[in-house]
Structure formats: structure tokens, C-alpha cells
Structure 1
Amino acid sequence: MSILDKIVSRKKEEVEANKKSLPVSRLESTSHFKRSPLSFKKALTRRGASGIIAEFKRRSPSKGLLNGHADVIATASAYELAGASALSVLTDVDFFGGSNENLEKARAAVTIPILRKDFIIDEYQLLEAKAIGADVILLIAAILSVHETEKLARFARSLGLEVLLEVHNEQELGHINHFVDVVGINNRNLNDFSTDVQTSFRLGELLPASAVKISESAISQPAVIVQLKEAGFRGFLIGETFMKEADPGKACEEFIKAVNTL
């Protein structure tokens, strides 16, 4: 069983438990459920946007603990001040050390869009995302069928949430549908967690010119951002590069300044 299989298996158990402990009626009664989500797509494509999607991630299955001390509120605020266009907050508990509470805290601290980074397999998780203050949700083609992807994307749209579809190979491009707002190319193979930024350049050429595309993972050099921009990418999801530092917000600020000087 691959790491991804283990994550999805555990996620199914987690979702069923959450449905019992926090029913839909309670999710729909939250203050966040009534707010109008911010546009992730517009934040990435507005004139002068850095395109940086700065991620708050405590650990990962491949690298272990990245940062056990960073405060989510301070880090999220620093990311925004540094010029990040959006945030990504891990909410997976068991494999990434995340929580829904972290996203709620980030939402209270910033005015830019927030991506709920998790392994979404059920409509309940979309209601949950809305209730905790997310603006955009992630659908991972590798763990969904084409039908499931469209069903979940359609439901997200009905809630006012935008959809980031993540793909990693040519076959997964078939998951793109008209409910998808942004296409993310993951440079990390979710089966063995190896990375190769060339994945973005290769698959990016196969996407429609109209697609808003972002590159995810394995981005650690400002020069790579410049190359990706030249290839038509509008967003760049960066987590480990920032989170492995004692001060992720400062690392983000220095990274964006370096990009702007190239």
C-alpha cells in the first residue's frame, strides 16, 4: 500500500467520524458558512500579483517534522505582509500535523484567499471547508474518478467555493471540467513523494491557453518562478521552502523580494 493509499484509507475513517461528531446542521450554522468566499483565481491573476501561495504545513510523510513551533496566526499574517497572493493551510491531522482550527485562525488573521489543503473525497468535507472559512478547495485527480471530480467540483461551486484541481500526469488531465477554476500541476509524485519541477513545464504545455495554472511543490529557487511565469504559470504553491525556516514569514518575504529583482 502506497503512502497515498494509506492517507485515503485513513481519511475515509476520519470523515465518517466527523459526520457523527459535527453534523451538517452545525456546519451550516457557523458564521463562516454565511460569508462570501474570496476569489482565489482573481487573487492570482490580478495585475502585479506575486502569485505566491504560501503554505502553513507542520510536517509531511516524506520529510517528517518541518516546523513544530511556528504560530499559525503570526505566520499567516507575515505571509500576507510579505506579499503572498493566497495562503494554503493543511488541515490533515494524521499525516501533515494540520487542523481545521489552524485554518480558522488563519482566516481571522488575513484578508487574502485561503486554500483548504486536504485529501477531499466526500461532499461533507466541502461543507466543512466552507464552515471553517476556506475560499478554495483542493481536488486531487489521483484519488478521484472523473465522475467524482466533477460531482465534488459542482458541489463546491454551489457553495461559492472555488476549485483547484491537482494533476500530476497526462492521464489526469481528463479530470478537468468547467467547474474547475484553477489547475495545479503537482511536481511531487504522490505515490512515492519524489519531486521534479519539469513536470510543470511538461504538462503546462498540454493545458488550454485559457487555463489558470499553478505549479506546486519542489520550488525552492526564485529563478524557477521566473521560468514558470514565462511558461504561463500564474501561481506557485510553496510550503517546505518557507516552513523549514525558523521564521517562515521572513523566508517568504526574502523569497518574493529575490523574485522581484530577477
Structure 2
Amino acid sequence: MEVTKVTAMLDLIVESTRRRVKEIDSSVPVEERQIQSLEKSIRTRKQNGVNPVIAEIKFRSPSEGLIRSYEDPAGIASGYVDAGCAGISVLTNPEFFGGDNSFIEKIRPQTAVPVLRKDFVVDEAQVRETAALGADAVLLIAAVLGEELGGFIEYTHGFGLEALVEVHDEAEMENAISGGARIIGINNRNLKTMKTELETTRRLGPLAAGRGVTVVCESGITGPADIREMRKCCDGFLVGTYLMKAEDPAKALEGLVCA
């Protein structure tokens, strides 16, 4: 796709999200519960000598089209847990990623690992909604939130949730760290061009060294060889398309965890 068309797609996703925000029922109570730490899960697995992988449930995307025919998200999640995932990422954007909020509600009671809600957050109501759904963490995209990022991180932490803050360049990395991010996801896919390069994590990963943050490599992992190559640049990985395209996602995940 041409850059202008891709940029327009990002704008469409954000526009669509703003329309969805208007439908959020803010009267749904946020129940007090024990939040499971995604950061701790990643760190513990790394210390134990296994590759921390946040395994994603994603049925389609603008760049890939249909990734996998729909099947029970709870079943996929159960397989991921058995294969040793550090957490489960759940796409909830319906229009562009085939996601649904109900996926989290189906998965949460059946898994003991942290659940990350992955969507295009543009409003604080979505953070509150994430807490009400039962997720433990939420994705915040630096390129979408800009100067508001720090406020969103603080608001997220106020609910006891963790924020996985997604960055793609040096300026976004500094914005995330100065804004209080504790988990930073380096997206190897450029949201303006949709081009994926693992070089992005190689370049940005060292900038976070010694700064008290946990670094997650996002996008572009195509097998165990990529895990072995990239783990020196990050603490963990978020993998979606590779797993969801596999005949047996859980078996594919096991290969990454043990690579």
C-alpha cells in the first residue's frame, strides 16, 4: 500500500475508535480484584531461562487481511497457557481486527496469566472499560496519544492496571519513559508505512537499558530463529500473526518459548 493510503487507514481506525467510545457504558462497575502483573510475568520467565512471549489472539488485520477463521478465543488461550506464554494479548477492535470485548470476558476466568487488552486507546473511558472487562494491562500507543501519553499512563496505573506503551522511534521512547512507562513495546511495524523491520528493536532496545523499564519486541517475529537473534535487545516478545497462522498455535508458541 502507498504511504498516503496507509496513513489514511490509521486515521480511519482512530476515527472508528472515537465512534465506539461514545457507546461505552460507564455505569458498568469496576470490581476490586487482584491484578496479575505482566511485567513480573515477563521478568520471572526471563530469570528462569525461558523466552517470555505474550501470545496474541487476532483473527485479521488491515495489513494481513484474514489471518485465521474464527474459533473460540478461550480455547486458543487455554492452549497458549499450556504452552507457557507470559501473557495473552487480546485484540478488541471489531472493525479492522475482528476483535470483540467479549473475548476478554471469555478468557479471563479460565487463565491464570496476565491479559493485555490491545486496541487503539484514544479516551480514558476505554481504560476504565478495560478494568471493568477484567484485563490486567492495556496497550497505549505513543503515536496516537502524543503529548497526552503521560496522563494516560497515570490514569491507567490509577486503576491498578499496567500499561504496555508502544513506541516506534527515539522521540516516542523518551516520551514513554518520561511519562512513567514501565513496560515499553517496540513496534517493528511502522504505522505510517506498515513496513516491518526488526532493526527497530535493535536500534531502540539499548536506549532503555538501565532505565528501569521492561522492553517487549512487537511485530515481525517469524519463528524461533528471530527469538534467538532478538532476545539480546529486549526482555520479551509479543507475537500474533505467526501464531495465529499456524495449524496449531499452541505448538508454534512452545517452539518460541523454548527457542
- For 1:75, the aligned partner's letter is I
Once residues 14 and 127 of structure 2 are traced to their aligned partners in structure 1, the CA distance between those partners, rounded to angstroms, is 16
Q: Structure 2: how far apart are the matches of 1:149 and 1:51?
A: 26
The Cα shift of 1:206 comes to 1.9
Instruction: Report the residue type matching 1:220 in the other structure.
Output: T
- 1:215 is aligned to 217
Deviation at 1:248, TM superposition (A): 1.5
- Give the whole-Å Cα distance in 2 for the aligned partners of 1:222 and 1:76: 20
Written as runs of structure 1 = structure 2, the 5 A alignment for 1:42-121 is: 42-46=40-44, 47-48=47-48, 49-121=50-122
- Are the aligned partners of 2:68 and 2:245 in contact in 1 as well (CA < 8 Å)? yes
**Please, what TM-score do these two structures have when normalized by structure 1?**
0.90
Q: 2:71, 2:219 → 1: CA distance?
A: 20
CA distance in 2, matches of 1:110, 1:60: 25
- What's the offset of the Cα at 1:253? 2.1
1:1-262 equivalences in 2 (<5 Å): 2-18=8-24, 22=25, 24-28=26-30, 33-46=31-44, 47-48=47-48, 49-146=50-147, 148-176=148-176, 177=178, 179-209=180-210, 210-231=212-233, 233-257=234-258, 259=259
Where 2:163 maps in the other structure, the secondary structure is strand
Shift of 1:180: 1.4
Deviations 1:112-153 (A, max 9, x none): 00110000111100111001111011110111122x111111
How far off its partner does 1:178 sit? 5.2
SS at match of 2:208: coil
- Identity, % of aligned positions: 39
C-alpha contact (below 8 Å) 1:188/1:217 kept by paired residues: yes
Quick one: distance in 2 between partners of 1:192 and 1:185? 16
- The answer on whether the counterparts of 2:101 and 2:133 sit within 8 Å (CA) in structure 1 is yes
**TM-score in terms of structure 2 length:** 0.91
Alpha-carbon distance in 1 for matches of 2:159, 2:77: 24
- Would the aligned equivalents of 1:197 and 1:218 in 2 still touch at CA under 8 Å? yes
For residue 27 of structure 2, give the secondary structure of its aligned residue in structure 1. Answer: helix
Opposite residue 59 of structure 1, the aligned amino acid is R
**Inter-partner Cα distance in structure 2 for 1:126 and 1:37:** 14
Question: Is there any run of 5+ residues in structure 1 with no aligned partner, and where?
Answer: none
The offset of 1:3, in angstroms, is 1.5
Asked if 1 retains the 8 angstrom alpha-carbon contact of 2:149 and 2:179, the reply is no
| Runs of 4 or more consecutive aligned structure 1 residues displaced over 6 Å after TM superposition | none
Distance (Å, rounded) in 1 between the aligned partners of 2:205 and 2:9: 26
Q: Which amino acid aligns with 2:213?
A: A
Distance between the aligned counterparts of 1:106 and 1:180, measured in 2? 26
Once the two structures are superposed, what CA deviation does each residue of 1:41-66 show, in whole Å capped at 9, x if it has no partner?
00000122531010000000000011
Q: Report deviation, 1:247.
A: 2.4
Contact 1:163 1:179 in 2 (8 A): no
Contact map agreement 2:151 2:179 (CA 8 A) in 1:
no
CA RMSD of aligned residues (A): 1.4
Q: What do residues 208-250 of structure 1 show as CA deviations (whole Å, max 9, x unaligned)?
A: 423210100000121221222223x111000000101232222
Q: What are structure 2's unaligned runs of at least 5 residues? A: 1-6
Q: Structure 1 residues 254, 226: CA separation in 2 closer, same or farther (over 3 Å shift)?
A: closer
Q: Deviations over 1:88-114 (max 9, x none)?
A: 000111000001101111112210001
Question: Greater CA deviation, 88-97 or 61-70?
Answer: 61-70
Check conservation: 1:70, 1:247, Cα contact below 8 A. Answer: no
Contact 2:189 2:219 in 1 (8 A): yes
CA displacement at 1:170 relative to structure 2: 1.6
User: Are the counterparts in 1 of residues 227 and 256 from structure 2 also a CA contact under 8 Å?
Assistant: no
Counterpart position of 2:3: none
Does the 8 A contact of 1:216 with 1:238 survive in 2? yes
